[in-house]
Amino acid sequence: MRILGIESSADETSAAVVESDGPGGVRLLSNVIQSQIDIHKVYGGIVPEISARSHIEAILPVIEAALQQSLVASHYSPGKGSPKLETGDKRQATQSDPWNQIDAIAVTYAPGLVGSLLMGVMTARTLALIKKKPLYPIHHVKAHVYANFINPVSHNTSGTTLTPRWRPPTFPILALIVSGGHTQLVLFESHQQYKILGRTQDDAVGEAFDKVAKILGLPYPGGPSIQAAAAKGDSSKYTLPKAKMKNNYDFSFSGLKTAFLRRVQREVGVDITFPSHELSSRLSTAERYDFAASFQQTAVETLVDKTIKAYQEFSPASVVIAGGVAANQALRRQLSDRLPIKVTYPPIWLCTDNGAMIASAAYYESQFRQPCDPRDLEVVPSLSM
């Protein structure tokens, strides 16, 4: 089964084709991502109106590229260039209509920015009707977990190859989902049955990385900027508080962000009325690194403490991390160090938003769910898993 996955919920326009690989999970045939990061960078965050308009321009070329690449690739990994065209493949690419090989379409319908979601959903609805393909609506946050079900291709001198004997995580799965919009611990009994153990009561952890980066004058998106600055800093320099929650597995990051702001204000000797965007120029480079490291340490420790607690209580067979913040090296390292079993996480380019995770989720959902009627599919900007 080959599925085209379409993602447009925030600032990446992405389309990918995956193919089922039986017990080996799914394998990637293409994954095209057009990021809007450079457009939004100047504003320090996503501007919804601009995001929607950028998706309109990008979506059809991105889908076309994903379909074409899927025809010529047996497996594909971005960052390593496009798959090489062999003579036979070239013939196949020009002769075949890529749509003949697509069995279903999957699209993110929730949650996200309404205008951005609409671009993906309207495109998918139209294509499903014209090309007569079943359409699967996919929940973006759940789909992040399914990046862990894609065979992580390895790279060598002869190109990219599937990781041999690789197997996707087994149930029950404890998933720590950490992105710019969501932070939650979920226990999956199966693909169909899951329980949310806890979630953030205010800001998502990725959002906290982004806001703290802004205070430190580091570029958007904040996660990678904080990680790079933290690598040069001393994480024990500034003590920051961890929120105490009524439900053990809930999170809160807005208090940490405010405590961070107050600590920086105190360090530079100004009161709480001093504008946050003028703080970074008063910090030395070393102070900026130490603040980044101290924040990252506190945020990561909070995530890891709760994941360990849930692991001890529920004894899952696998622990996975998913979402943009799963790209964070400190989070990966600390969780790996403290858990008695191996932690599963996607390659970095599958942690942030992509069409491959949407297609992967749809492959597993198609085993227990009927496709929707393309004429009825609506977007839902705010929807829990």
Q: How far is the CB of 10 from ligand KG4 (least distance, A)?
A: 5
In total, the chain counts a number of residues equal to 385
Min CB(146)–ligand KG4 separation in Å: 13
Cα gap 53→42, rounded to integer Å: 17
Q: Kindly report the number of other CB atoms within 10 A of residue 382's CB atom.
A: 9
The pair of structure tokens assigned to 22 is 């039986």
Residue closer to ligand KG4, measured from CB, 181 or 371: 181
For ligand KG4, the closer CB: 168 or 224:
224
The reply to whether 179 sits near Zn ion by the rule CB under 5 A is yes
Looking at the DSSP bridge assignments, the partners of residue 176 are 185, 321
Q: What 3-state class would DSSP assign to 58?
A: helix
The entry of ligand KG4, Zn ion, none that residue 176 binds, CB within 5 to 8 Å by partner kind: none
11 binds Zn ion (CB under 5 A): no
Structure tokens belonging to residue 25: 């999970």
Residues lying near ligand KG4 in the complex (CB under 6 A) are found at: 10, 179-181, 206-207, 209-210, 221-224, 227, 323-325, 327-328, 352-353
* Residue at token pair 């208090």: 255
To the nearest whole angstrom, how small is the minimum distance from the Cβ of residue 180 to ligand KG4? Answer: 3
CB of 330 to ligand KG4, least distance (A): 8
Residue 177 or residue 304: which is nearer to Zn ion going by CB? Answer: 177
Express the helix, strand and coil content of the chain in percent, nearest 5 each. 45, 20, 35
Residues in binding contact with Zn ion, number by CB under 5 A: 2
DSSP, res 309: H
The alpha carbon dihedral of 258, 259, 260, 261 has a sign of positive
Min dist. Cβ of residue 138 to ligand KG4 (A): 13
Site string for Zn ion, 347-366 (x = CB under 5 A): ------x-------------
Write out the E strands in the chain: 2-7, 12-20, 26-35, 104-110, 135-139, 154-156, 159-161, 173-178, 183-188, 194-199, 318-322, 343-344
CB of 322 to Zn ion, least distance (A): 9
Residue 297 or 352 with smaller CB distance to Zn ion: 352
Residue 7 as a binder of Zn ion (CB under 5 A): the answer is no
Contact by Cβ (8 Å): 207, 334: no
**What is the CB-side half-sphere exposure of residue 26 using CA atoms within 13 A?**
30
Residue with tokens 């990781």: 163
Partner interacting with residue 327 (select from ligand KG4, Zn ion, none; CB below 5-8 Å by kind) = ligand KG4
CB of 264 to Zn ion, least distance (A): 28
Choose between 11 and 21: whose C-beta lies nearer to Zn ion: 11
Which residue ranges make up the site for Zn ion (CB under 5 A)?
A: 179, 353
